[in-house]
Chains A and B, each alone.
Chain A
């Protein structure tokens, strides 16, 4: 049993539906042009402008300046982060050596009558020859410095005009592996000088 046998109108409709649709080839282009000509709704205008592809020209000099500016921003941001954290977070997992806060004040003395500069250098100041300068005590030739240290064992040496010396008044730590000797100062808690 077919649809036409059910109702003559069904056959009529089916015939119309089977007929190929013939359209004007330029109609689609006309429709799309009309759509593009329509201005977007007010609330979507900014978004429409932002995502609309566009072409622009840029000279190599301007491109270089733009890149340099971005690098500058990165450097400034990195510097601010380093200042805030006290160290670069990308470094090794070791805190930057600082003079420890302690209630134990320790005095170091070294005799070097002819020296022009003496520094105390050790594990408590990151082995930095610039951090703990010793002061000549009058005309005696004795150099001294007093600083707070945490209780425990500390390795150190004196840097006298560029030459390393162990402390003759404290135990030796043995060869440091670099051809010099260090001294050991054991600081008891709350006992210093």
Chain B
């Protein structure tokens, strides 16, 4: 028979203190919620991502979009460094968009940040600072980012979208422009030429595009 070596513990408080120490040591493991996708990041990356998100919230920026970006990276099995970089870049673009546009709804701010992400310059975005009450630039920003993603030269895309906006084009006009241009590109037309052709047909035709810088 194996005899366990008994040890004398002086008092009940000492026993409780020992148990608390054991439980306290185990608490960090208990605190990790396996259902939280961010827990799949290593500790350093997670700390960095959460710090950026907290900074965004503190600055009045839509931090949820950055959280979503981190989740996207995790879902796409991206390298953790790329995830942190993408979240940080998103934060900077949101800050720039806020500084350029002022107080706009969160989703428009996110769309504007996407335009910056696609390559537009803050000065090109500043045209959208002036707007009529209730007018949304969501569709314009979406089409703008798409055109740049498809290879339309940055200045051509920016000039066309800005002018359409200043001429009062509505969401349908922007969407129709996108539909026509992407159709032409799919047919094999050069992206820049496709945009210029369709702009000429647009009812609110902007003047010939001129590079801003």
Q: Which residues of A contact B (CB under 8 A)?
A: 53-61, 63, 66-67, 70-71, 74-75, 78, 82, 87-88, 90-97, 121, 123, 126-129, 152-153, 155, 164, 171-182, 184, 186
Contacts and interface: CB of A to CB of B under 8 A. Distances in A.
B146 A178 contact: no
A59 B4 contact: yes
B187 to A, nearest CB: 14
Contact of A57 (B8, B23, B83): B8
B133 interface: no
Contacts of A56: 9, 12
B11 interface: yes
A111 to B, nearest CB: 15
Nearest to A82: B33
Nearest to A88: B33
A70 B35 CA distance: 23
A172 B157 CA distance: 14
Contacts of A164: 76
Contacts of B89: 177
A58 B12 CA distance: 11
Nearest to B27: A74
A63 B75 contact: no
Contact of B145 (A67, A91, A96, A174): A174
B30 interface: yes
A182 B111 CA distance: 13
Nearest to B90: A177
Interface centre among A75, A82, A91 (most CB of B within 10 A): A91
Contacts of B9: 56-58, 63
B22 interface: yes
B36 A88 contact: yes
Contacts of A121: 75
Interface residues of B, number: 64
A129 B110 CA distance: 23
Given A127-B72, A172-B146, A181-B149, A70 B23 contact: yes
Interface stretch (B60-68, B159-167, B197-205): B60-68
A152 B37 contact: no
Nearest to B146: A171
Contacts of A171: 142-143, 145-146, 178, 182
Given A91-B36, A164-B76, A174 B118 contact: yes
B72 A186 contact: no
A178 B22 contact: no
B188 to A, nearest CB: 16
B7 A186 contact: no
A53 B73 contact: no
A155 B38 CA distance: 19
Interface centre among B36, B83, B139 (most CB of A within 10 A): B36
B117 A174 contact: yes
Contact of A87 (B33, B53, B54, B107): B33
B15 to A, nearest CB: 7
Given A87-B33, A92-B38, A67 B22 contact: yes
A181 B178 CA distance: 17
B169 interface: no
B38 A57 contact: no
B193 interface: no
A61 B82 contact: no
Contacts of A173: 114, 142, 145-146, 149
28 contacts: A54-B11, A59-B5, A60-B4, A66-B15, A67-B18, A71-B22, A74-B23, A74-B27, A74-B30, A87-B36, A90-B31, A93-B57, A93-B63, A94-B64, A94-B67, A126-B71, A152-B138, A155-B68, A171-B182, A173-B146, A175-B117, A175-B118, A177-B69, A177-B78, A177-B86, A178-B72, A180-B76, A186-B139
